């Protein structure tokens, strides 16, 4: 069994829970997810099965889209609604739509973020959440992330109250913490803030309309129709330059041989080798042998 299964992760489960359950449902051990979603977050979680696990990192690195509800007036230790309150300002607040849009504009493009203490980022070999659970504060790495677009949803022109909430749609690159983005929006508006709720609506090439729940998957397995929802590996490699090879090179590439570099590799770090519409391998320039190329990942015929 090989392919990508676009899963709709429901609330209350970790990404690892989904993998564990799918291994049982699909009766295969070679199952991997493509990026952690917190238990209270629902949304698109592409799952790689069989050979497709070799392209999991590519899906993880692809763009994402989220719909988040931002709450202005209270900050929490986890930066979301599940954490204990660490700061609050429940005075009456008034924001115009223009004010909020101006704050969102300041956070569009390349920005810097400090990952939350309750996150899976590793520092000195341990996850930040491991330190946080023991009450240990450590220096967190500053990282650059890219926000393609933030859109204020709804039609309200004025937002007011002691704790003001509004929803945004965020299109962003890998490594972005939407929880932290909510806190940053609050900082620009001058108040403590947290992310009240979050849904991932797009991951790479997949959106909500592509997804099935765990219950759907179990039913399709029972009906022996699971192949109907598995997407081919080729679908997630469409942004790579592709080279259609002839039959003369087929065996060499299938065997993972080092070959003379092709002109495409002068312009791109990696290329996909295709034969009759099927991906064989991803090749890259050889790191120590100029003029040659080597397989980065072998994708056809390996289980």
Q: Is the pLDDT of residue 257 over 50?
A: yes
Q: Are residues 89 and 191 in the same domain?
A: yes
- At residue 302, the pLDDT reads 44
Q: Report yes or no on 156 lying in a domain.
A: yes
The CATH number of whichever domain residue 68 belongs to comes to: 3.30.2350.10
Q: Report yes or no on 270 lying in a domain.
A: yes
Mean of the pLDDT values across residues 278-293? Answer: 93
Q: Report yes or no on 303 lying in a domain.
A: no
Q: Are residues 178 and 285 in the same domain?
A: no
Q: Are residues 226 and 244 in the same domain?
A: no
Is residue 22 packed enough to be buried (19+ CB in 10 Å), middle (13-18) or exposed (0-12)?
buried
Q: Is the pLDDT of residue 303 over 50?
A: no
Strand partners, 202: 65, 207
Q: Are residues 26 and 104 in the same domain?
A: no
Range of lowest pLDDT (22-26, 109-113, 114-118, 244-248): 114-118
Q: Report yes or no on 25 lying in a domain.
A: yes
Q: How do residues 194-243 score in pLDDT, each as one tens digit?
A: 999 999 999 998 999 999 999 999 999 999 999 999 999 988 888 889 99
**Confidence band of 301 (pLDDT split at 50, 70, 90):** low
Average pLDDT for the chain: 92
Distance CA 266, CA 8 (A): 39
| Domain stop point among 188, 203, 218 | 203
**Confidence band of 110 (pLDDT split at 50, 70, 90):** very high
Distance CA 50, CA 80 (A): 35
Q: Is the pLDDT of residue 255 over 60?
A: yes
Q: Report yes or no on 41 lying in a domain.
A: yes
- Residue numbers of the domain that contains 51: 3-62+204-233
Question: 280 vs 175, 248, 296, CA distance in Å?
Answer: 29, 14, 11
Which pTM was predicted? 0.87
Q: Are residues 170 and 78 in the same domain?
A: yes
Q: Are residues 263 and 281 in the same domain?
A: yes
**So which residues are the catalytic ones?**
38
Q: Is the pLDDT of residue 121 over 80?
A: no
In the chain, how many domains are there?
3
The CATH number of whichever domain residue 265 belongs to comes to: 2.30.130.10
Q: Report yes or no on 199 lying in a domain.
A: yes
Q: Are residues 96 and 177 in the same domain?
A: yes
């Amino acid at each position: 069994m090989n392919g990508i299964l676009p899963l709709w992760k429901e609330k209350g489960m970790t990404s690892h829970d989904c993998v564990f359950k799918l291994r049982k449902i699909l009766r295969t051990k070679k199952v991997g997810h493509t990026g952690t979603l917190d238990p209270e977050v629902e949304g698109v979680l592409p799952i790689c099965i069989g050979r497709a696990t070799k392209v999991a990192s590519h899906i993880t690195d692809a763009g994402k889209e989220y719909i988040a509800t931002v709450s202005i007036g209270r900050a929490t230790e986890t930066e979301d609604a599940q954490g204990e309150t660490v700061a609050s300002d429940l005075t009456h607040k008034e924001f115009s739509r223009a004010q909020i849009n101006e704050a969102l504009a300041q956070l569009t493009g390349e920005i810097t973020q400090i990952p939350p203490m309750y996150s899976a980022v590793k520092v000195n070999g341990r996850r930040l959440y491991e330190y946080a659970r023991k009450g240990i504060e450590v220096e967190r790495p500053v990282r650059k992330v890219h926000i393609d677009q933030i859109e204020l949803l709804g039609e309200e022109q004025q937002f007011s109250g002691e704790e003001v909430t509004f929803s945004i749609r965020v299109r962003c690159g890998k490594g972005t913490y939407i929880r932290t983005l909510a806190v940053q929006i609050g900082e620009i508006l001058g108040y403590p803030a947290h992310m009240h709720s979050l849904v991932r609506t797009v991951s790479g090439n997949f959106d909500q309309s592509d997804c099935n729940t765990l219950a759907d998957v179990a039913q399709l397995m029972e009906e022996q129709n699971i192949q109907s929802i598995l997407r081919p590996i080729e679908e997630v490699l469409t942004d790579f330059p592709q080279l259609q090879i002839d039959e003369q090179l087929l065996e060499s590439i299938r065997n993972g041989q080092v070959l003379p570099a092709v002109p495409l590799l002068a312009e791109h770090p990696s290329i996909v080798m295709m034969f009759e519409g099927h991906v064989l391998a991803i090749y890259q320039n050889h790191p120590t042998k100029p003029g040659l190329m080597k397989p980065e990942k072998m994708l056809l015929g390996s289980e």
